[in-house]
């Protein structure tokens, strides 16, 4: 589908052949059993390369998979409370948050309000303050001011040491 002639040709080893006519480059590709692929269409003359396009697509997909596998999940883990969460339940959730922090994850602590609980946001803030006090030895607050998003009050805690 290369319409412009002449083109700058690069062979299968990466060596520059030079500026040649498109039909000549197509003939060379057919002789070698390869494809003529336009690498840089914006350049003048356009740069084309002789390569096995199927293999190229396969290797590109393989590198994309390895990059995706190597990428870390940056989204914080979330621990949810209610404003009137009991002390025992709070401790269990805090222990789970400590495990996340020790593993190197960020943790978002969220207090969710329902119905008339919205009038008593001070109780939710106190629950959040208690939770952050219990996490002081394993994590530090990203910002000391909790943020209200709709009916949820949340704060993010980062691990003290990176693993």
- Return the closest-CA partner of residue 83 out of 139, 131, 123: 123
How much is the average pLDDT of 51-73?
A: 86
Beta strands in the chain, from DSSP E residues, in sequence order:
7-10, 16-20, 35-40, 47-51, 77-81, 107-112, 139-141, 147-149, 152-159
Q: What percent of the chain has pLDDT over 90?
A: 51
* pLDDT-derived band at 19, boundaries 50, 70, 90: very high
Percentage of the chain surpassing pLDDT 70?
Answer: 98
- pLDDT (mean) for 121-142: 90
Domains plus CATH for the chain? 7-70 (3.10.20.80), 77-159 (3.30.110.10)
In the predicted structure, residue 88 carries a pLDDT above the cut 60 = yes
Of 154, 101, 96, the C-alpha closest to 128 is 154
Q: Binning pLDDT at 50, 70 and 90, where does residue 73 land?
A: low
């Amino acid at each position: 589908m290369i319409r412009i002639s002449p083109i700058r040709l690069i062979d299968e080893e990466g060596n520059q052949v030079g500026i040649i006519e498109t039909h000549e480059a197509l003939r060379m590709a057919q002789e070698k059993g390869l494809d003529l692929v336009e690498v840089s269409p914006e350049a003048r003359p356009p740069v084309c390369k002789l390569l096995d396009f199927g293999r190229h697509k396969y290797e590109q997909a393989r590198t994309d998979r390895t990059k995706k596998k190597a990428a870390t999940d940056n989204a914080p883990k979330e621990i949810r409370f209610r404003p009137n969460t009991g002390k025992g339940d709070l401790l269990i959730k805090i222990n789970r948050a400590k495990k996340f922090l020790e593993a190197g994850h960020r943790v978002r602590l969220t207090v969710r309000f329902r119905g008339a609980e919205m009038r008593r946001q001070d109780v939710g803030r106190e629950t959040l303050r208690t939770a952050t006090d219990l996490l002081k030895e394993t994590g530090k607050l990203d910002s000391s001011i909790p943020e209200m998003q709709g009916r949820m009050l949340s704060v993010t805690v980062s691990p003290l040491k990176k693993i």
